[in-house]
Structure 1
Amino acid sequence: MLYSKTTPAEKRRLFRERLASGQIQRFPGAFNPLSAKLIERKGFDGVYISGAVLSADLGLPDIGLTTLTEVAGRAQQIARVTELPAIVDADTGFGEPMNVARTIQTLEDAELAGTHIEDQVNPKRCGHLDGKSVVDLGTAAQRIRAAVDARRDPNFLIMARTDVRAVEGLEASLDRARALVDAGADAIFPEAMRTLDEFAAMRAAVDVPILANMTEFGKSELFTTQQLADVGVNLVIWPVSMLRIAMGATDRALDTLLEEGRLTSKLDEMQHRAELYELVDYEAYNRFDSNVFNFEVQRTRAAD
């Protein structure tokens, strides 16, 4: 009932343990707290919170318009309802190195298990769009060093995302990844990799966990979890997939409402009320109310 029973520190510890197990960790993207609960119910390993999703949720493009306060607030709402670890996209860290340091401590306080800081120039662009620009290596490494220095819980995962592959090519991205690991990154997120061979090359280049972004309509082919595991990927995310599916279904339902005047033909596509109540543990709240308010008001003599 209410929020998760597992403490943020324990979630982080368990996440680190699982990440080191050699078994690939599957993190679908949650677009709200309820979808995070469903991700847990289905048996996935964790929850990913995408900057693109948080921007879209506000009706904004993913170009760095969201603030740390907005991201941390929404991420906490999502992270605290599930027993799973949650990782959030922190874009470029919301400013200069001191801002990056504040970002890390704010996200720790927001109960996240980890985050990633990228090496794009701010304002950033979606990682699978053309026309991106990246900062120089010194600036990118400075962001990671600031993040690591600010961290209070050693199990809070600080991941370095590099967008160099789409800008300067594979070899440059491998060099950048090595340098970011040297700067203290716990894991590497190589954005916009095109082939399994490229993921394998990244695996060979660094000795920390690597993440694969299986976003639709982008630069990367949509590989299966097993294919990625076979080349040594440790963590896979589907950042915007659930939002895209939900919005696609909503779009079609609205068309049906316009055309038919009711949604009777869509009932089989809906989550049933009973399924929703089970997911939010409605019965537990009823039991809580009964236990707290199960008393009778004593009559006074004046009332008699």
Structure 2
Amino acid sequence: MPGAWRIVDLTGYEGKVSAGKGSLYVGDATVPLADLAVVLVGPHCLLHESIFDRAAAFDIAIMHCDWRAVPIATTLTWSNNSRVATRQRCQITMSIPRQKNAWMRIVQAKIRGQANALAVCDRPHASEVRDLAKLVRSGDPSNVEARAARAYWSALFDQPRFRRKPGSRVDANSYLDYTYAIVRGFCVRAVVAAGLNPTLGVWHHQRSNNFSLVDDIIEPFRPAADVVAMQAYGSYDSMTPDCKRQLASVCDRKFASDGRTTGSSITHFTQSLANYMEGEGTTVQVPVFEGSREDG
């Protein structure tokens, strides 16, 4: 896809990786740095110092993965956003009501996106899930998000007993884990580019979580990843290179009717959330996954 943001998966590669003259060098292969957004590297990649220099210059996130291809660290360029100090002060001092309002909007968008994912994939219960979005209140005190998830997961994979269990590698969970890792990499990149601190979340506040804000931002984009993972799970018996390429395409797929892809929608939403944190507007507009029948 011309102009697409590419993800290079080197988690299974053994050998030297370097960069120069506008390209990433992997063995005899080259990839234009200008096309890249995220590079996943594994424990057997020998990274030349040049890759860090060029990744910073081209705003590329390097995600370091363990032997299971699970991301364990990320190398990012320092933010060059001119409002980084102001925005991070606003993150710290944002009022509880504004935080709760933002989380309500995020959960509503996620549930509506889940309903749309069911609809484009010709799965049942889309209307039931969509109606639940109307019940979400400030801060989601009734945990409508969890109620929607119970109806959603069993319907999407057409498995009444399906349970989403991160890291379990059971059923489609490994496909979901991989696709979420790709989307999460884009979210981390967008947060830093917006001049925000990934540790300071709107709703997620776990003491040991370095990416609480990323875990907030990713929520409305999960349905887009779910559709890609569901398709791959139905087409591949294992996580082959072709399967991973299909999963990695998630950020180049159409997200909404305005023509934005998942990747560009993440960037746009993160900038909008940053403005909201600075006090702009009374609500934050959160994008909703719409997909298309081509995704079904």
Same fold (TM over 0.5): no
Give the TM-score range, shorter chain.
under 0.3
TM-score, reference length from structure 1: 0.23
TM-score, reference length from structure 2: 0.24
